[in-house]
């Protein structure tokens, strides 16, 4: 949650049931994530004036009526969320006017403006001088309204209000494709290009970029991610920004960055050279200076002579790739590979195995192409050394409190689990990092869990589809049998030979096996078709890899 430089922390503001943790101590840090000393003097008031640091949110105490218990409570909203909120971008007071231009900075990214809303009648949110408060309000409005009316990846508010101090922008870091993919920018200069540089800076934070240090290098006197804007407008991201962005891509794999928006959603008029294939265009490889694609004429946005295509998963050397080509690899045992059709540049619809198939050696069951386990969820929240807590921790889920429940019908209401459903409520883990990657946390005995004020951003519940017993999975926070969870149609029983059922209730041959019965292997390419159900299941699906006596032939280009 974004906060101004100084904030008033009310115990009631972060947890109405905080009386469940009493006699707590305020932990006063000296630097981020380092606990320095404990102030054991009891707090007699509900409010604590604290400096803007995430370490002023740790509390120690015990559970009511349990003198032997020990509880650690963090209201920091998680290590990852803390890192999202970046220090304010400020203007160098000696150089308030900015000149020059951005140049080709944005050419490295495929950015498309799909919406521009100007509030002419009244503000839709409370726009106030504390940048953190405005960012908080804008983020809530974006998630509750804007996303529902206009799907998008990233949103920023440009306001004429003068933020407190020298702040001209604030955003979350590494938050793209999440509910915190936002930023706020002050219209601090009469030159639009100067405000644009600030917008680029805040978007950089969303893309995982930190402020530059003195060791960061870029072409120009200053870089976009400099903590303070100077006289010259920055034109390039630094070497550090490049490294931050690469790390963000590899560690987070943000899904919204791996697709192009539909050209119909662009608010600008069609223009040859903008990188988007729009009405009347066969291709668009950017400007004449940018285009390096031999399949596309950058001047006319038409295919060059003899070319069938210019880009796409199923386009190679200006031709449609053959139908034997894998265009989307199998991600795991619950996924299925897709193949080019030989008639289009687009990879067919992503398909995966039918829900309920055993996976990971019986540890769980496939669900929507994944194999969810509590162990993996603990690692996601607490880091690679985290493990699932013992069953006695999950018994806490019958309590119906903010850190142990099954259902949450409203922000302030928590409903405990039935005894049979405790493994489908709050996720409890042990070991791992001291701070979670998401939300806030509570720790007692050998159990620790995370929680959030916002029900829509609470990542602490056991995932749907997770195994909760033999032949049982979590659905709607109840532990139910597979037939109830997935309304089994016995599709797999109808599939012949080495075939499996996909999520569309079609039989598909396993890798290396051929239709129609999936009981014979093939060593030469065949053209794939589609599954047809006409009284019996007949599938024409290419195997993932063509079987060969030589392993080198298994390496298909993607």
Binding-site sequence positions for Zn(2+): 201, 205, 211
Q: How many helices (H) and strands (E) does the chain have?
A: 10, 34
- Of 481, 380, 378, 473, the closest CA to residue 426 belongs to 378
Burial class (CB in 10 A: 0-12, 13-18, 19+), 144: exposed
Distances, alpha carbon 492 to alpha carbons 273, 495, 506, in Å: 49, 5, 9
**Rounded to an integer, what distance in angstroms lies between the CA atom of residue 444 and that of residue 71?**
5
Nearby residues of 368 by Cβ (< 8 Å), 6 or more positions away: 352, 355, 465, 503
Active-site pick, 202, 235, 338, 478: 202
**Rounded to an integer, what distance in angstroms lies between the CA atom of residue 169 and that of residue 283?**
37
> Under DSSP, is residue 91 helix (H, G, I), strand (E, B) or coil?
strand
Nearby residues of 433 by Cβ (< 8 Å), 6 or more positions away: 79, 382, 383, 385, 386
> Under DSSP, is residue 180 helix (H, G, I), strand (E, B) or coil?
coil
Within 267-394, strands assigned E span 296-297, 302-303, 315-316, 319-320, 326-328, 338-339, 358-359, 364-365, 386-388
Residue 456 near residue 179 (C-beta atoms within 8 A): yes
- Residue 277 — left, alpha, or beta (φ > 0 → left; ψ -120 to 50 → alpha)? beta
- Of 152, 135, 33, the closest CA to residue 83 belongs to 33
Peptide bond into 354 cis (omega under 30): no
Active site residue 202: yes
Residue 206 near residue 173 (C-beta atoms within 8 A): yes
Nearby residues of 188 by Cβ (< 8 Å), 6 or more positions away: 91, 168, 194, 195, 198
**Rounded to an integer, what distance in angstroms lies between the CA atom of residue 539 and that of residue 329?**
19
Sequence ranges of the binding site: 201, 205, 211
**Rounded to an integer, what distance in angstroms lies between the CA atom of residue 479 and that of residue 439?**
25
- Of 460, 466, 107, the closest CA to residue 290 belongs to 107
Residue 525 near residue 324 (C-beta atoms within 8 A): yes
> DSSP secondary structure string, 308-341?
S-SSSTTEETTEEPPTT-EEE---STTB--EE--
CB atoms within 10 A of CB 97: 10
> Residue 14: phi, psi to the nearest 5?
-105, -10
Residue 182 near residue 174 (C-beta atoms within 8 A): no
Q: Tokens 């904030």 sit at which residue? A: 7
Q: Tokens 């150089």 sit at which residue? A: 95
> Which positions are annotated as active-site residues?
202
């Amino acid at each position: 949650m974004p906060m101004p430089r100084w904030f008033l922390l009310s115990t009631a503001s972060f947890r109405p049931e905080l009386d469940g943790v009493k006699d707590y101590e305020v932990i006063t840090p000296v630097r981020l994530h380092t606990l320095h000393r404990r102030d054991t003097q009891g707090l007699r008031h509900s409010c604590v004036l604290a400096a803007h640091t995430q370490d002023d949110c740790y509390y120690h105490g015990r559970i009511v009526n349990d003198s032997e218990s020990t509880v650690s409570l963090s209201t920091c909203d998680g290590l990852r969320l803390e890192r999202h909120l970046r220090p304010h971008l400020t203007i160098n007071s000696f150089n308030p006017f900015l000149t020059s231009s951005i140049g080709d900075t944005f050419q490295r990214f495929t950015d498309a403006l799909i919406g521009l809303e100007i509030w002419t009648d009244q503000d839709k949110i409370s726009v106030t001088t504390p940048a953190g408060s405005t960012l908080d309000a804008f983020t809530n409005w974006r998630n509750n309204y804007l996303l529902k009316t206009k799907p998008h990846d990233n949103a920023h508010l440009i306001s004429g209000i003068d933020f407190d101090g020298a702040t001209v922008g604030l955003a979350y870091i590494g938050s793209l494709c999440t509910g915190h993919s936002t930023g706020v920018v002050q219209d601090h200069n009469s030159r639009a290009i100067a405000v644009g540089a600030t917008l680029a800076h805040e978007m950089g934070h969303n893309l995982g970029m930190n402020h530059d240090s003195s060791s960061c290098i870029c072409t120009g006197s200053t870089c976009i991610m400099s903590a303070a804007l100077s006289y010259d407008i920055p034109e390039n991201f630094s070497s550090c920004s490049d490294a931050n962005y690469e790390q963000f891509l590899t560690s987070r794999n943000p899904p919204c960055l791996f697709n192009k928006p539909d050209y119909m959603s662009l608010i600008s008029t069609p223009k040859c050279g903008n990188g988007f294939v729009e009405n009347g265009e066969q291709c668009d490889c950017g400007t004449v200076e940018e285009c390096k694609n031999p399949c596309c004429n950058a001047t006319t946005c038409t295919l060059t002579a003899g070319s069938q295509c210019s880009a796409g998963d199923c386009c190679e050397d200006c031709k449609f790739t053959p139908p034997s080509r894998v265009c989307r690899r199998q991600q795991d045992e619950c996924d299925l590979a897709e193949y080019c059709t030989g008639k289009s540049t687009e990879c067919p619809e992503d398909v995966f195995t039918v829900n309920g198939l055993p996976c990971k050696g019986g540890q769980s069951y496939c669900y929507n192409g994944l194999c969810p386990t509590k162990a993996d969820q603990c690692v996601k929240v607490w880091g690679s050394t985290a493990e699932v807590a013992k069953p006695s921790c999950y018994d806490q889920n019958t309590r119906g409190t903010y850190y142990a429940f099954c259902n949450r019908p409203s922000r302030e209401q928590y409903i405990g689990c039935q005894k049979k459903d405790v493994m489908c409520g709050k996720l409890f883990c042990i070991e791992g990092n001291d701070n979670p990657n998401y939300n806030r946390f509570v720790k007692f005995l050998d159990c620790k869990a995370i929680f959030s004020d916002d029900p829509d951003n609470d990542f602490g519940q056991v995932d749907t589809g997770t195994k909760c017993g033999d032949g049982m999975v979590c659905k709607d926070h109840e532990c139910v049998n597979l037939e109830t969870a997935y309304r089994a149609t016995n599709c797999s029983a109808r599939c012949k030979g080495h075939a499996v059922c996909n999520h569309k209730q079609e039989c598909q041959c396993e890798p290396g096996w051929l239709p129609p019965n999936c009981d014979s292997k093939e060593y030469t390419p065949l053209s794939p078709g589609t599954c047809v159900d006409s009284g019996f299941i007949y599938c024409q699906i290419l195997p993932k890899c063509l079987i060969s006596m030589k392993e080198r032939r298994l390496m298909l280009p993607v």
